[in-house]
Structure 1
Amino acid sequence: MNPKTHFRLTVLHVVVLAMLLVLLGRLWNLQVINGEHYRDVAAQNRIREIVVPATRGMILDSSGRALVRNRAALVVSVDRTVLSRQDDGGKAVLGRLAATLGTTRAELEKRIRLCSPTVKRPCWPGSPYQPIPVADRVDPKQALQIMERAEEYPGVIAAVQAVREYPRPEGAVAAQTLGYLQPITQEEMDERRGLKVTGYSGVDLIGRDGLEAQYDTDLRGQPGVREVLVDSQGRVTGTAREQAPVPGSSLVTSLDARIQAAAEQAIKNAVDKARKAGSKADSGAAVVMDARTGRVVALASYPSYDPSIWIGGISQAEYEGLLGRSQGQPLISRAIQGQFPPASTFKISSVAAAVADGYPLNGTYPCPGSYRVGNREFRNFEGQAHGSMTLHRALVVSCDTIFYKFAYEQWLRDGGLKPARKPKDPMATMARNFGFGSRTGVDLPSEAEGRIPDRTWKREYWQATKDDTCKAAKNGYKDLERTAPSRAAYLKAIAKEHCAEGFVWRPGDAANFSIGQGDVLVTPLQLARAYAAVANGGKLVVPRVGLAVIRPDGTVVRHIEPPEPERLPVDGKVLAYMRRALADVTTNGTAAGAFNGFDLKKVHVAGKTGTAEVYGKEDTAWFASFAPARNPRFVVVAMISQAGTGGTYAAPAVREIYEAMYGLNGKKAALVNGDLPNRLPRVRPDGTVAVPTGTAP
């Protein structure tokens, strides 16, 4: 054999042998060293994991009436991932689906596109990797057609699912308190690191507001997982493993549907009445609370909306309507997020502050028509003089000038324009003791803090707004100068003063503070909490809406107990004095007209009217109350923005609520013997609820 040929054959043998060794080594690696890993990968290629959503728990009132529940619905969903793999991007499938559902392909394409700052609703705000519902009220014949002809609808799923339903028991809506659901986004999935860590999956709807958000973990349950076998074409050939979902627990609240409905109707009636009289009356709120425990019985906010608007997708126009000012921003709860000057309802704090600062509780004080504070006259409502009177009478007739005197003298003692290093600020200190200027701690998200202004706040505010104020003082109000020159000149003068020394806490600031005007802002819930403290003898309760969490089998997961209340640093004699004074407001005071004909012998309502003047707007009407006056159980507060006087608009609304609660004026009583249920409703395994009997202690 030719040596050259022999060499070539030798090299060839070596190469072949090396290739065989490499192949054997690779096989050893695949089958022995990494065999288990690749067996798992191969199994995953033929197994698909499907997340099965859990049925969300109900939200019930204290008697077991469903405020939110579920209904079984045929839902058609579209898998974007499957459609994207088709040659035409799924257009043909969407066309056939649109014809089946009686809609258009364009409409379906809108529903499955992903939401972004540049994409208007309808769109999909959730994860792009989960099936997207496009119809939740499908006729069974339509669903059957889709299921029987699955090969014509690849990527389309028709299945029975639980869909949120809002039955409105007794006519109650409580939209802002209940909140709403939206799909979990991919960003949220990434933050929570998925199902294995937190129980969240791509098919989850999560609470975005209200009780749905606050108690989301309890309500949503745990999704199940179904592993199915598929062939090379993606067709399901069997089931490998199935883990059933765990239904969510139901939330029992302290809300009473009848009282909630009455509060909503009363606020609407007051708004309608004010509008008929020519007022703007743009919003309102009402709070009903157990004065002893802080349990919230009703939270009404106007304008409201139908929460079912979120089901099945929401259009851009509907979404903007919930947030837009043109429709009154109905998504906002005025009861816990609305901030308004409280006017004379604030005087319970000012009386306590004055007495704590040394003014005699049983003293007599002059109530002239006006009182000079610094270089400015501050007037009573309509300039009316009442002569000398006690603090009791000052609350009954709502004398302002007595409180101007207190505030001005306290301001002077603190050093006036040259304050002491650590001024006492008796009015502001007492207001904070009553819980104003801080959140109440209610178990609802996005609660507002309100505002208690003082020297520190005013300086900080001035520093934050100084540039804009100085600019307005120099070049502002050009358009107004042409239409209303005197008003423009006034505003420029104010801006100039604020630019130069807007940080100064002036005597007028102190005077306005004492009657709940100026820069003082409170929420209706804060005011209800403060009046509860007066009514119950000094306990500053923490409001609670949630009462208990109950599993689907009826067992109680936990009772939701309010935190221990703080003690109001006000002498019990002062609180008792104010309770007696407030009891006279409805008999011979500023609310006597509103309660004319009301059966005060059966339920004596004590309260205080308030009429807040707001620059550039109409007056805000308030009435804060508790009842029965001698043994207070409930606090009811009503606020109507841009309506008029508290005695004309807010007090009648509160009267309506009490009539519904106690069954007066021909109405059916919402309360049994004047009390709330003392037992939890029983949730049965089939989802029905047994209404409790008995009354609360």
Structure 2
Amino acid sequence: MARMRRRPGGRPGRRTAPGAPGGAPAPRAAPGRAGLILAQVLVVALFAVLGARLWYLQVPMGEHFARLAAADRTQELVVPATRGQILDQAGRPLVRNRTALVVSADWHALQAMPDQGADVLARVAEVVGEPVEEIRARTRLCGPEVSRPCWPGSPYQPVTLADDVDARAALQILERREDFPGISAQQLAVRDYPHGELAAQALGYLQPVTQEELEAREELRKQFSGVDQVGRDGLEATYDAELRGTAGVRTLAVNNRGEVTGVVDEQRPEPGMHLVSTIDQRVQKTVEDALRRGIDRARKAGHPASSAAGVVMDVRTGGLVAMASLPSYDPSVWQGGIDQETFDELLSEKAGEPLNSRVMQGQYPPASTFKVSSLAAGVRGGKPLRGTYSCPSSISVGNRSFENYEGSSHGSLSLHRAIVVSCNTVFYQMAYDEWRSDERKKKPDDVFARTAEDFGFGAPTGIDLPHEAAGRIPTREWKRELWEATKEESCERAESGYPGVAEDDPGRASYLKKVAEENCTDGYRWRAGDAVNFAIGQGDVLVTPLQLVRAYAAVANGGTLWEPRVGKALVSADGERVEEIEPQKAGDLEVDGEVVSYLQKALTAVPKQGTASGAFGGFPQDQVSVAGKTGSGSALDSDSTAWFASYAPADDPDLAVVVVVPKGGTGGETAAPIVREIYEGVYGFTRDEQDAGGKSVEGGDPDLPGGEPRRGELPQVRPDGTVDLAAGE
């Protein structure tokens, strides 16, 4: 092995690269050019990305971030719009607005307090002068198990503690905020009902927005101001969106301490539109006053009447000039929270369910007023329009006897005379003959039911108000469905009977047991008794006063069925924009024109020579001729339901009027006099009447409309928001 040679100094010698001259050392390797270039590219790319990002943030997104920055210094406040008024057809206010001082609480702020706001609510009660228990109760959220008063709206709204508060009380709350945390006092627009109970069910009422409504209705969420209310019934509900208007937005400047320093921007609210209704306030008052007097007369005559309904329809358009239901109520009871006693009374059957409109929700057997449909059905089924018919006191159908009212007999007569004297047996016989014919057919004609449906019975009319009842036209199919639903109960009663009823009335209990036995075995069958009862509007037939007035309006105008309307036009708050609500035709009577003319002549004779002649004795028929029909709907162990359905003038019909008084006696003694009084008010007639003491007094009411019913122009809304009554007022 060769040894390494050392150089002087003792260090080993350095090796030389092969071929290096003179043994010089090998040079170091230089850094790679590829790596240097890559580094330079990365640096340039980073600067490019950074530059692009800066440009993007400053140019395209500059305005966006400017708004975000401004948002840190501003606050948006939703400003509620003023709700539109509801006017009568002449422009008189039925519902308007007024300003009230309202004390409210932040529900969440109260819940966050250690005592859930008990102390502060006690102080509020002392200031506003109301019992502390009521103030506390109003902060509870309403629910199935929570009694009134309670808060029916969203917990995110200010909870109303007291309204119509004295200004000094409100000022104490505003000046001593440290003593009233979570409490506010402010002026708010509230609904005002200048005529109290007048047309209450038609107008409806307002209630705070619920959380469910906020979640379901996007238009409410977008404009939620915290004090919003929505229509809960009547016109307030149907035309809620138009009446409510569009909320505004006020952008406030605030400093870092949350103090408002100014207004940055403001989008003013757009007031709601005024709703001009078809109701005539004076005719409405006439109807309600006449109904009250009619109920009083019925009770003095020994009938247990406690409710009534009256409706006046324009036969040429379907517009409702008046719709009255008694008992009524004052819609202002909803403001500020309703107590449990009042709430229960509004729904109480004992109190007459004043919240319900008997005009469109009350369902009653129409009795002889239904004969306009039955006459048309009989002729449609083949009976001669101008034939002669027998009117005995009764007819036998199966093992039952069906009688005329009070067993009267009228011999041979025409269908015209059968309407005038209201002969039941003529219509019984026509229906019985039709039933026997149908029984022999595989597919029965059911002409009486089909004709009733053509008159608009058994289905909603389409009125622009919520919660309308459909009435009932019983058919073979309906009878079978009812039997299937009640068969089990009928069979149980067929076996056990009615022991509770038998203690007081054995005869009635025996009758009910036989009915149950019959219904148990073959209650699905459409029997002859069903058919003959149907023909005079009895049995299972039910109609609403609204359906009946529309049917009589169709007879009056020659055969047109209208969709009833209460809304006539929407007018902007400055009067610049008008949206008329056009009448809607629902269809035509499927009745021959000759039959309609025949009915018109027969109905015109009823107040002159027939069952309503006593009520209309002395009425100026030469000036305004009234056509109509009485009805007395009987019920088991109950007084009759009194009806009068009519229209006038008979020779040039303008208005149809229907009145019903449940448990009021007969139509001629109770309902017809009320209708006469309505026509006297509408057309401005007066008469001498006997008061309760028998003293002769001058009739007539100075507040009644008088003169011809007006179809004037729409009321004019001036630019300042005031209303000019329609022409002719």
| Range that drifts further, 136-145 or 495-504 | 136-145
Query: CA–CA distance in 2 between the matches of 1:45 and 1:497?
Result: 79
Query: Which runs of structure 2 are paired with 1:236-251 in the superposition (5 Å)?
Result: 236-251=260-275
Match of 1:184 in 2: 209
Query: CA–CA distance in 2 between the matches of 1:236 and 1:107?
Result: 35
Q: Which residue type is aligned with residue 677 of structure 1? A: R
Match status 1:115 vs 2:142: yes
CA shift at 1:564, angstroms? 2.6
CA shift at 1:325, angstroms? 1.0
CA shift at 1:378, angstroms? 0.7
Q: What root-mean-square deviation, in Å, do the aligned CA atoms of Structure 1 and Structure 2 show?
A: 2.4
CA shift at 1:381, angstroms? 0.3
Counterpart of 1:463 (choices 463, 484, 488) is: 484
CA shift at 1:244, angstroms? 2.4
Query: CA–CA distance in 1 between the matches of 2:588 and 2:702?
Result: 37
CA shift at 1:43, angstroms? 6.3
Asked whether the 8 Å contact 1:476–1:492 carries over to 2, the reply is yes
Match of 1:17 in 2: none
Change (3 A) 1:255 1:222: same
Counterpart of 2:655 (choices 634, 639, 655) is: 634
Aligned-partner SS, 1:607: strand
Match of 1:600 in 2: 621
Once the two structures are superposed, what CA deviation does each residue of 1:277-322 show, in whole Å capped at 9, x if it has no partner? 2211132111101111111100010111111111111001111110
Aligned-partner SS, 2:84: coil
Change (3 A) 1:669 1:531: farther
Change (3 A) 1:32 1:254: closer
Change (3 A) 1:608 1:146: same
Q: Which residue type is aligned with residue 357 of structure 2? A: S
Counterpart of 1:539 (choices 560, 576, 588) is: 560
TM score, norm. by length of structure 1: 0.91
Q: Unpaired segments of 5 or more residues in structure 1?
A: 1-24
TM score, norm. by length of structure 2: 0.87
Aligned-partner SS, 2:625: coil
Counterpart of 2:339 (choices 293, 312, 315) is: 315
CA shift at 1:220, angstroms? 0.7
Once the two structures are superposed, what CA deviation does each residue of 1:220-245 show, in whole Å capped at 9, x if it has no partner? 11122334455677654544443322
CA shift at 1:475, angstroms? 2.9
Match of 1:271 in 2: 295
Query: CA–CA distance in 1 between the matches of 2:260 and 2:378?
Result: 78
Query: Which runs of structure 2 are paired with 1:8-47 in the superposition (5 Å)?
Result: 47=74
Match of 2:35 in 1: none
Counterpart of 1:305 (choices 307, 329, 346) is: 329
Match of 2:119 in 1: 92
Match of 2:443 in 1: 422
Aligned-partner SS, 1:326: coil
Aligned-partner SS, 1:123: coil
Asked whether the 8 Å contact 1:452–1:521 carries over to 2, the reply is yes
Counterpart of 2:711 (choices 662, 677, 689) is: 677
Query: CA–CA distance in 2 between the matches of 1:660 and 1:154?
Result: 57
Query: CA–CA distance in 2 between the matches of 1:476 and 1:241?
Result: 78
Query: CA–CA distance in 2 between the matches of 1:560 and 1:241?
Result: 37
Asked whether the 8 Å contact 1:175–1:307 carries over to 2, the reply is yes
Asked whether the 8 Å contact 1:172–1:257 carries over to 2, the reply is no
Match status 1:285 vs 2:278: no
Match of 1:652 in 2: 673
Structure 1: 4+ residue segments shifted above 6 A: 31-43
Match of 1:210 in 2: 234
Give the number of aligned pairs. Answer: 662
Q: Which one has a bigger Cα radius of gyration?
A: 2
Once the two structures are superposed, what CA deviation does each residue of 1:663-694 show, in whole Å capped at 9, x if it has no partner? 01134585564132320111234432100114
Match of 1:173 in 2: 198
Query: CA–CA distance in 2 between the matches of 1:421 and 1:201?
Result: 64
Asked whether the 8 Å contact 2:682–2:709 carries over to 1, the reply is no
Match of 1:609 in 2: 630
Aligned-partner SS, 1:609: strand
Q: Which residue type is aligned with residue 217 of structure 2? A: R
Match of 1:128 in 2: 155
| Range that drifts further, 658-667 or 523-532 | 658-667
Query: CA–CA distance in 2 between the matches of 1:107 and 1:144?
Result: 21
CA shift at 1:393, angstroms? 0.6
Change (3 A) 1:477 1:236: farther
Q: Which residue type is aligned with residue 715 of structure 2? A: P
Counterpart of 2:354 (choices 330, 340, 360) is: 330
Q: Which residue type is aligned with residue 390 of structure 1? A: S
Query: CA–CA distance in 2 between the matches of 1:234 and 1:569?
Result: 71
Match of 2:182 in 1: 155
Query: CA–CA distance in 2 between the matches of 1:44 and 1:129?
Result: 22
Counterpart of 2:726 (choices 689, 692, 696) is: 692
Change (3 A) 1:43 1:484: farther
Aligned-partner SS, 2:146: coil
Counterpart of 2:399 (choices 369, 375, 388) is: 375
Counterpart of 1:61 (choices 88, 95, 111) is: 88
Match status 1:504 vs 2:525: yes
Match of 1:142 in 2: 169
CA shift at 1:462, angstroms? 0.9
CA shift at 1:119, angstroms? 1.0
Q: Which residue type is aligned with residue 429 of structure 2? A: K
Asked whether the 8 Å contact 1:289–1:297 carries over to 2, the reply is yes
Match status 1:409 vs 2:409: no
Aligned-partner SS, 1:51: strand
Aligned-partner SS, 1:414: helix
Change (3 A) 1:272 1:486: same
Aligned-partner SS, 1:638: strand
Query: CA–CA distance in 1 between the matches of 2:321 and 2:351?
Result: 27
Match status 1:72 vs 2:99: yes
Asked whether the 8 Å contact 2:197–2:330 carries over to 1, the reply is no
| Range that drifts further, 474-483 or 543-552 | 474-483
| Range that drifts further, 272-281 or 39-48 | 39-48
Query: CA–CA distance in 1 between the matches of 2:684 and 2:476?
Result: 48
Q: Which residue type is aligned with residue 334 of structure 2? A: W
Change (3 A) 1:123 1:44: farther
CA shift at 1:90, angstroms? 2.7
Query: CA–CA distance in 1 between the matches of 2:258 and 2:157?
Result: 17
Query: Which runs of structure 2 are paired with 1:430-579 in the superposition (5 Å)?
Result: 430-579=451-600
CA shift at 1:420, angstroms? 2.4
Aligned-partner SS, 1:505: coil
Query: CA–CA distance in 1 between the matches of 2:528 and 2:316?
Result: 38
Counterpart of 1:589 (choices 601, 610, 614) is: 610
Match of 1:395 in 2: 419
Q: Which residue type is aligned with residue 288 of structure 1? A: V
Q: Which residue type is aligned with residue 521 of structure 2? A: A
Q: Which residue type is aligned with residue 151 of structure 1? A: E
CA shift at 1:469, angstroms? 1.9
| Range that drifts further, 587-596 or 667-676 | 667-676
Match of 1:357 in 2: 381
CA shift at 1:380, angstroms? 0.3
CA shift at 1:194, angstroms? 6.0
Query: CA–CA distance in 1 between the matches of 2:255 and 2:111?
Result: 20
CA shift at 1:44, angstroms? 5.8
Query: CA–CA distance in 2 between the matches of 1:42 and 1:85?
Result: 31
Change (3 A) 1:48 1:153: farther
| Identical pairs, percent | 55
| Range that drifts further, 150-159 or 327-336 | 150-159
| Range that drifts further, 390-399 or 43-52 | 43-52
